[in-house]
Structure 1
């Protein structure tokens, strides 16, 4: 029996993917039926999916399942992400109470016309995410500005948040210090600079087209700003420190903590709140991030059980068996990264898990390591940028009081990035090892 279990585990099980399917059906189905995507809170959908995962595979004892999900929740990427949420919440709550968000928005709109404000959000997001190397950190820093611009210009909030998520995914995929880039390069055995060159040529057309689309959408939706745009430079300073710190590549935790301290000083100094209220404002911001933090923990638990039951192994094996020829190898690597990311809701984890199989495919079908690394990173980011249960969309939705599904129609960049990569596979001269 033990040998049979090991054989099944190696082969993988399609049924192990059931919890993810259950969540999508419940979450999206409830929204479509009721025409209101707030009907089913994301956390409830994920808890139902977790219960389904626990009910599966009765051969694994309940105690062992608890041990499995504990290890999954304690994984480095999950812990880091949750800590970023809390640090970002402290900064967001303090800077908002100090009046920094409103001053930053008014300053930005007084410099540039409202018709290009959304394009500005996308471009700034691109620069920050490339420098910071984290899409979640970029979204948490920029989301309040996006909401403020939407309120001032009359542009729909989902459009502004879509632009920010698109910019964040640009750097998550391309940055030299992004953990996805590092994972892709290490698993495929190529140089960082070679992967960057290969990647940049593919994503640049997608970024340019995305900027053009946002320009036309925003120019048709932006209203005239009649109110006076008052701002105080001193209240903008904490945001400038965070944005500049991110651009020069300072660690995201250092940047957010420095921004929080500066916001507290500015808030007390300008009389926005008393010194005794500093920790209260920080606490309010941190509390606002509890939902996304808990959701991240539940998703990690579901993924751990899906992996243990053989769901990821099933995808790896199915794709590997259907590859034929060099271009087929490139498509195989791409689909592999995309599907594993959709199952894990974490593009770094997806690259680490699918990387060894992608390496085998690249060697067998003569795909260069830099091309393999580039495709792994691109398609893991494509998946991560559009799934409604990924940290990026959940963060953007949580900080803007939206449903992830409301932002999804404006996620042009991840989709165009995938389209551009497919065209490169089909028509570009193949690079061999």
Structure 2
């Protein structure tokens, strides 16, 4: 694709509205299929195909359309995600086919664990992992193959458990000092990471506390009684040695290793453990029904969908509509509240348009910085609004990368049917929803809004705007 120039925006019939056809039509088609009860990962291929076809018909320059679509598949993030999907799928089957879940069922029933509390335990475990590692994708790759089959084996609602996993994953993605979103939001707002995290803590903990209560309530409402035969048939403790794998994953991620390296390392260790402990033979591992082939083939549905998704995301970006809107948005703000609401709105739209919250933060951050300086607003708060709304949106976005990894693992492992709807998960992503609500209430009411008074290199944080600020002029 060398020599292709995308400096000129891709034009669509319908003007600025036409520029939203690629991504907008995908969402519409997905919702239409779910409403008409055509629920399957493979059915979403059709949504991608129809969205791409509609985009083709509405594009004015068909050659440029082709170039831009293919450019989406050269995005490094696409390549990384494909490798992550494949390695995570293999690891999921290595753990499941080892008999680890039977061992965990045995342990749970032996200890008399109340399954109604498993959604809460899942949320807290994932929140702890993501806060320690700073990665949502790594958290779902670690937790889903273990906590989902265990919870379903004990009678929990799968959508509730998946909601708890993705909620916990984005808890740490939002809060962890080593999270890429925390770093990106702090740097774009010219703020120090430790001070930003300290200021952010109250928002995360309020949302997390209420989410915990909801997981207990819904856990008790939706959990079915475990059949006695399942308790009696559950496996013994031998396979619990495989729990060393998620421990290694967390350790390596804390050490800053990338997810591809972590997954490949854990796959190799899992293969060695399975063979040495006698859980499976090398011949079975490479067999067509073994974990490698089954793990790869189980993730192909997600990978095909990602092909359509990245092509459509690139088409949406190539229209230039969003960038143009972002550039002109700041001039519409007349008060500090309007500035904060605009940053929140742009962050949500940026996350929806890119499907990756870090990218949205990098895109919106410079505009947010200018707006906050204009009204002398505390830029730590700006970093938190950026991060909070991006993580909240990503935590309920069905086509977000972490959601896709989680859903792909759930289907690939065989514990969920392909007809299970990914659209049923976002409503149980309680922490993400509450994070959105907490920040929105804070903006509307003005709770915790602070201002900056800059004197030389010193920044003083004030409860009220400094007397020489633009804020006074705008609000008087």
Fold similarity call, TM over 0.5: yes
Conservation of the 8 A alpha-carbon contact between 2:88 and 2:409:
no
Q: CA deviation at 1:40?
A: 7.2
Secondary structure of 1:48's aligned partner = helix
RMSD: 2.6
Name the counterpart of 2:402: 392
The separation in 1 between residues aligned to 2:106 and 2:98, in whole angstroms, is 15
Name the counterpart of 1:261: 268
Conservation of the 8 A alpha-carbon contact between 1:129 and 1:175:
yes
The separation in 2 between residues aligned to 1:214 and 1:244, in whole angstroms, is 27
1:432 aligns with 2:451: yes
The 5 Å alignment of 1:158-237 reads 158-225=159-226, 226=228, 227-228=231-232, 229=234, 230-232=236-238, 233-237=240-244
The separation in 2 between residues aligned to 1:73 and 1:238, in whole angstroms, is 32
Gaps spanning 5+ residues in structure 2: where? 1-7, 412-419, 453-476
Q: CA deviation at 1:217?
A: 1.2
If you compute each CA radius of gyration, which structure gives the higher value, 1 or 2?
2
Conservation of the 8 A alpha-carbon contact between 1:315 and 1:340:
no
Q: CA deviation at 1:82?
A: 2.6
Q: 1:419 aligns with which of 403, 420, 437?
A: 437
Name the counterpart of 1:285: 295
Q: 1:358 aligns with which of 348, 364, 368?
A: 368
The separation in 2 between residues aligned to 1:71 and 1:189, in whole angstroms, is 32
TM-score (norm 2): 0.82
The separation in 1 between residues aligned to 2:447 and 2:434, in whole angstroms, is 17
Name the counterpart of 2:45: 43
Q: CA deviation at 1:66?
A: 3.7
Conservation of the 8 A alpha-carbon contact between 2:69 and 2:314:
yes
Per-residue CA distance 1:127-168 (angstroms, 9 max, x = gap): 111222221221122112233223322111111111101101
TM-score (norm 1): 0.89
The 5 Å alignment of 1:300-315 reads 300-315=310-325
Conservation of the 8 A alpha-carbon contact between 2:101 and 2:150:
no
Conservation of the 8 A alpha-carbon contact between 1:202 and 1:420:
yes
Secondary structure of 1:38's aligned partner = coil
The separation in 2 between residues aligned to 1:39 and 1:298, in whole angstroms, is 13
* Higher fraction of helix: 1
Q: CA deviation at 1:29?
A: 1.7
The 5 Å alignment of 1:365-380 reads 365-380=375-390
Secondary structure of 2:442's aligned partner = helix
1:75–1:431 CA distance, 2 compared to 1 (3 A): farther
Name the counterpart of 2:351: 341
Conservation of the 8 A alpha-carbon contact between 2:89 and 2:296:
yes
The separation in 2 between residues aligned to 1:56 and 1:99, in whole angstroms, is 52
Q: Which sits farther off after the overlay, 317-326 or 256-265? A: 317-326
Figure out how many residues of one structure are paired with residues of the other and give that number: 424
Q: CA deviation at 1:327?
A: 1.6
Name the counterpart of 1:84: 84
The 5 Å alignment of 1:99-178 reads 99-108=99-108, 110-111=110-111, 112-178=113-179
Secondary structure of 1:271's aligned partner = coil
Q: CA deviation at 1:234?
A: 2.2
Secondary structure of 1:13's aligned partner = helix
The separation in 1 between residues aligned to 2:448 and 2:162, in whole angstroms, is 36
1:310–1:14 CA distance, 2 compared to 1 (3 A): farther
Name the counterpart of 2:24: 21
The separation in 1 between residues aligned to 2:101 and 2:262, in whole angstroms, is 17
The separation in 1 between residues aligned to 2:437 and 2:56, in whole angstroms, is 37
Q: CA deviation at 1:83?
A: 2.3
1:224–1:403 CA distance, 2 compared to 1 (3 A): closer
